[in-house]
Amino acid sequence: MYRYLRYVPKNQLSRLVGRIVHLRLPPPIARRLVRWFARTYQIDVAAAGKAIEDYPSIGHFFIRDLREGLRPIEGPFVSPVDGVLRNFGTVTGGRLEQIKGKSYTLAAFLGDEANARRYESGAFFNLYLSPQDYHHVHSPVGGRITRSVHIPGKLWPVNDWSLANVDELFSINERVVTYVECSFGLVAVVMIGATNVGKISVVYDSFISNTAGTTTTATRSYDPPMAIAAGDRLGTFHMGSSVVVLVEPGHLDLASVRLERGKKVRYGAAILHGEKPPREAQR
């Protein structure tokens, strides 16, 4: 099945799916569809910020908020999402591991060769969001947003099949990079689009991804930079995908990572041992 995806217009399909799932429906129909979606993906509806009957579409339920106070912020460097920590490691030779035996180029991934050199020998964390997960993305650190880059691209799935079979997957899919200056240096948070991600939006700017006719990389600098705390919201996947966090070398020891590869992680969970909670997140 997946081999035929190369012939499918994935960007156009994703825009269409995004519009369909966000259509506001009559309440009886919306309730049934949202309940079906929650059952199918085994979603914890008790964690949602509103009663399941209050969502007018699957799309609105998909980008639901969580109940206030449900995710305490456990330290100064935290998971930005609910999801699975697929991998973490060191940037080596300008490349990051995509899956065992396959890697991708950091310069192409960030759309900036000079900036990519800052992360050589630094750390990366790759987190995957399934349809079951909460789909807002938060800042892993507290600091100042200095720059963003929107890189249009393809919308391949980011499932295990694609990781194993699509070369440079994360460097060819559409993505949005947010740079945060903080005590861990310049941290990059990269939101990666995928099939059926109708769009990626961010809270600090008005642009959105997967817009028809948008083919040029757009870089924006913010002067003055915008303050953000660890756990504050950065943006939203309007359907699911992956996030990669990059940290410059010399700012953390991977031996101190307390999370396990391949395991579920919750937004706000401390990534490193010995962290102290700075605050609760602003939702």
Tokens for 251? Answer: 């700012």
Tracing tokens 């194993």 back to the chain, one arrives at 164
Nearest residue to 175 (alpha-carbon basis) of 154, 192, 163, 162: 192
Neighbours of 30 (CB within 10 A): 21
Q: What single string gives the DSSP state of each residue in 34-65? A: HHHHHHHTT--GGGBSS-GGG-SSHHHHHTPP
Specify burial of residue 211 (Cβ count, 10 A radius: 0-12, 13-18, 19+). Answer: middle
Single out the catalytic residue among 79, 82, 150, 201. Answer: 82
Single out the catalytic residue among 138, 139, 150, 171. Answer: 138
256 as an active site residue: the answer is no
Tokens for 232? Answer: 């504050």
CB 46 within 8 A of CB 190: no
225-257 exposure pattern, b = at least 16 Cβ within 10 A, e = fewer: eeebbbbbbbbbbbbbbbbbbbbbeebbeeeeb
221 as an active site residue: the answer is no
Single out the catalytic residue among 103, 209, 241, 242. Answer: 241
**69 SS3 class:** coil
201 as an active site residue: the answer is no
CA distance 281 to 283: 6
Nearest residue to 107 (alpha-carbon basis) of 97, 98, 99, 116: 116
Please give the positions annotated as active site: 82, 138, 241
